[in-house]
Amino acid sequence: MSKSSTSSQGSLTCGLDRAAKENKPTTIVVFGASGDLAKKKTFPALFHLYQRKLLPSRLSIIGYARTHMSPEEFHKRVTSTFASDADKSSVEGFLKLCTYVSGKYDVAEDFQALRTEIEKGEHALECSGSSDRVRVYYLALPPSVFVDVATQIKHNVYDGSCTNRVVIEKPFGHDLESSRKLSTDIGALFDEAEVFRIDHYLGKEMVKNILTLRFANVFYEAVWNRHYISNIQITFKESFGTEGRGGYFDQFGMIRDVMQNHLLQVLSIVAMNQPKSLGAEDVRDRKTEVLRRILPIQLEDTFLGQYVASADGSKPGYKDDETVPQDSITPTFAQCVLHVDNDRWRGVPWVIKAGKALNEAKMLIRIQYKDMPNALFPNLARNELVLQVSPKESMYIKTIVKEPGLSTKLAMSELDLSYKTRYHNVNIPDAYATLILDVLNGDHSNFVRSDELDEAWRIFTPLLHQIEQEHIVPKPYEYGSRGPEGAYQFVEDRVGYKRTELEYHWEAPK
Just list the catalytic residues: 262
**How many Cα atoms occupy the beta-carbon half-sphere of 252 within 13 Å?**
20
Cβ contacts of residue 81 below 8 Å, gap of 6+?
39, 40, 43, 44
Q: Residue 208: count other Cβ atoms within 10 Å of its Cβ.
A: 18
The H-assigned helical ranges of 157-234 are 176-187, 205-208, 210-215, 218-222
Handedness of CA 102, 103, 109, 114 (dihedral sign): positive
State the distance between the two ends of the chain, measured CA to CA, in whole angstroms: 53
Q: Is the peptide bond before 171 cis (omega within 30 degrees of 0)?
A: yes
Q: How far apart are CA 454 and CA 377, in angstroms?
A: 47
Phi, psi of 264 (to 5 degrees): -70, -35
**CA 475/CA 308 separation, integer angstroms:** 10
In the three-class reduction of DSSP (H, G, I as helix; E, B as strand; rest coil), residue 469 is classed as helix
Phi, psi dihedrals of residue 499, rounded to the nearest 5°: -80, 150
Please report, as a single letter, which amino acid is at residue 323.
Answer: T
Nearest to 206, CA basis, from 510, 471, 508: 508
